[in-house]
Structure 1
């Protein structure tokens, strides 16, 4: 048990440093692209190519991970991220926009390779009865990396310049790979649970009721959340608020989510993932409703507390609901498909809500968010209604 917990925490730390290196680039990609002469359209393409490549490469990471190479995929993801950091520096020294765009794509590929196996190993190595808790800790490391990274990236670029900031991508990736190597040496290949490793398991098992409807719930959940991350800052900018107003809003969301993730995971272990997922999404919907009545800061920060808390409760419980019942031999692919629904929901929400904003203004977006999240709430209940015993 002691070695198992040590291995889990080494992988947790690797996840933290990997996403710290990813997220520190978020606030500096657009400004750096502008210094290379990119117009607004190209800036958008360069910023978005990472997410697109990450989305389409996740099945590759999942497929290889299901062959038993999950720890190897986490190492390769860090190595590719390390290489990306070096190429970022090279693009800064050469002022080469094409090289920078290629590097953004490579960094996205590293995410697609790393993330499915990171999520899957949290389930694979979890002690009996502590799957939700382990997913909660893994999610906390992901959240912490994404909370600290943007602030750190802005600070580093201000004081060390773009080259100095990009250098830390390689440093953090090197540290992340270093945490995985001792686990890889001890554990070796991970093929999932013993029962499924002795059987021929088809990917048709991904049509399991709990997996399908939890993935659909995640799709609508992330679509609603994209309305906050994409159009609330635009709305504040339109009203003349400084950028720090939304920055503080997201800090509150992140801190609140970080505080409740472990609670969500542990509670899901005790009472099951369905009520925790349902309750978490309901708290998020409450936050959306409050935002519509108090949309301006500082009152709007109360909605940030609710949205973050609900997010932290729901995410590990939904991960447990979707992934824990899957046969171990296909869990990495399941992780990749599941997280793709988050990406698709985010992209779909941005496009659909952008159309609404274009027709009726930014303020028309926010009344729709509780309704979209309500669809996620319905999908969470369907496995229970269908009698899926694993849900």
Structure 2
């Protein structure tokens, strides 16, 4: 059962990652101006945040199974619709709907996984979910690029849309009905607040949300600026793909090897902040180097930091929520995921920063936010010791 949820997570992210190398050229082929190409690319992330929030309410009200089914079917149908797009306005509508459906699907999958997980091994469980995302990050762009070049862009949408519909059918047959209010033993640290503002007032959840935004801010900077740096150094566009591949494969190995036990051995906020510092250091180093070999090493370092952050954030959310509010908690998490990517790429673009300057800005955001989390956690420990 748990393995099937990992499969749903991987398929969901293959859907997202497969479109990274093809969406801008697709919009351009329809006659989109550079401005509208940006709108087309960003539309998914913006409506994804709306879908995330809506999904959180729906999950906590009716359970995860129905939300999962809706998200899979809706995403599959929207993907089929892409194959019939002939104009830029039609593409914008498709991206709008796709962001909504994807935003509904992903929090449901992670909430279902969290509700079924072993509390003593939540870090390992979430590390394995990170491996599913990492595999998608490696498979998705390659699949999108290869299928487009061999058969045409419409077949990317048709194949993944068909996979979504088939997965929905298996989900309906395989997954049990999950009532909105699950019976679970309340563990220390779990909170039952059901409002979004209330969730933000729970310090460990606030740490997780700061971490998720920081991680994806850095990811937005990296996705935008690493290819530009590689191009400026005249290394060829293939190097960018290989560097991202090294980052993904490094993270996957840390997720699946015995190193994943680290996430249950140490407090999750500590492993998360260590990961933030590692990525901050990697971005800073990336701003200083020009050699290919060193860049590979830095991307391995970046992948290590990502592997520390992702499961730690998820485990913090599971640890400090209950079945009654976990859907909303994951919804906020993934909304901030999308927001981080948008803000990271927007800041570097609107201020016309160079690649190296952008890496320094990303590094500063990671380091400063890790210090904020450490300071807040130390103050909280001090208050508890005085009680």
Question: 1:175-210: per-residue Cα shift (whole Å, max 9, x none)?
Answer: 3324422343x34325345357xx975325412111
The answer (yes or no) to whether the contact 1:292–1:367 under 8 Å persists in 2 is yes
**Would the alpha carbon gap of residues 107 and 61 (structure 1) be closer, same or farther in structure 2, given more than 3 Å must change?**
same
Alignment of 1:210 with 2:201, yes or no, is no
Equivalent position of 2:26 in the other structure = 32
**Would the alpha carbon gap of residues 23 and 349 (structure 1) be closer, same or farther in structure 2, given more than 3 Å must change?**
closer
Equivalent position of 1:154 in the other structure = 145
The answer (yes or no) to whether the contact 2:45–2:342 under 8 Å persists in 1 is no
Question: 1:235-283: per-residue Cα shift (whole Å, max 9, x none)?
Answer: 2223433211211111111111111234565322222212321322232
Equivalent position of 1:48 in the other structure = 42
The answer (yes or no) to whether the contact 1:18–1:172 under 8 Å persists in 2 is no
For structure 1, list consecutive stretches of 5 or more residues without a partner in the other structure: 1-6
Alignment of 1:257 with 2:251, yes or no, is yes
State the distance in 2 between where 1:226 and 1:378 align. 21
Equivalent position of 1:310 in the other structure = 305
State the distance in 2 between where 1:78 and 1:153 align. 19
Say which is worse superposed, 380-389 or 242-251, in terms of deviation: 380-389
Q: Which runs of 4+ in 1 moved over 6 A?
A: none
Q: How many residues align?
A: 375
Structure 1 residue 48 displacement after superposition: 1.5
State the distance in 2 between where 1:49 and 1:270 align. 40
TM-score by length of 2: 0.89
Pick one of 367, 371, 374 that aligns with 1:378. 371
State the distance in 1 between where 2:116 and 2:95 align. 32
The answer (yes or no) to whether the contact 2:233–2:290 under 8 Å persists in 1 is no
Pick one of 325, 339, 342 that aligns with 1:344. 339
Question: 1:214-241: per-residue Cα shift (whole Å, max 9, x none)?
Answer: 2123223322332211112122223433
Equivalent position of 1:188 in the other structure = 178
For structure 2, list consecutive stretches of 5 or more residues without a partner in the other structure: none
The answer (yes or no) to whether the contact 2:60–2:326 under 8 Å persists in 1 is yes
**Would the alpha carbon gap of residues 355 and 26 (structure 1) be closer, same or farther in structure 2, given more than 3 Å must change?**
closer
State the distance in 2 between where 1:131 and 1:237 align. 41
State the distance in 1 between where 2:126 and 2:355 align. 35
Structure 1 residue 128 displacement after superposition: 3.3
State the distance in 1 between where 2:346 and 2:79 align. 30
The answer (yes or no) to whether the contact 1:268–1:317 under 8 Å persists in 2 is yes
**Would the alpha carbon gap of residues 159 and 202 (structure 1) be closer, same or farther in structure 2, given more than 3 Å must change?**
closer
Equivalent position of 1:127 in the other structure = 118
Structure 1 residue 375 displacement after superposition: 1.8
Equivalent position of 1:66 in the other structure = 60
Please tell me the root mean square deviation across aligned C-alpha atoms, in Å: 2.3
Equivalent position of 1:325 in the other structure = 320
